[in-house]
Amino acid sequence: MYINLLVKIKNAQAADKKSLKSPFTKMDQAVVEVLQKYDFIKKLEVKGRSFKKVMELQLNPERPIQGVKFLSRPSVRRYGGYKDFRRVKGGEGILVVSTPRGVLSGVDARKQKVGGELLFEIW
């Protein structure tokens, strides 16, 4: 799940690691692609076949993750319309949303005028 992945990334950056391996899921891959677009992750490689797939992430030391706020959990889901999406930490962070068009940042979801489940804020 993406929650475990984000905690792994944050801890690896705190320990000055250059790369990280994590089990592959489509949701995790979509979240990493959004983080890669905003320079939190340098590179994503998917290795292996079928159920043995692994994601290898190269972390960006110039933009470490300072904090993460999880908005939805498996027990409590939060949803919002695109008009509700605001800037995170004065534009320093991003909101990540699961929409019918895939996992998007709050900025992209607002441009495409699509709402969805609020996953997390990261800065």
- 67 close to 106: Cβ distance less than 8 angstroms: no
Q: What is the pLDDT of residues 23-59, one digit of tens each?
A: 999 999 999 999 999 999 999 999 999 889 999 999 9
Q: Is 35 exposed, middle or buried (0-12, 13-18, 19+ CB in 10 A)?
A: buried
* Domains defined for the chain, CATH in brackets: 2-59 (3.30.1370.30), 68-122 (3.30.1490.10)
Q: What is the pLDDT of residues 53-76, one digit of tens each?
A: 999 999 999 999 999 999 998 899
- The span from the CA of 6 to the CA of 27, in Å, is 12
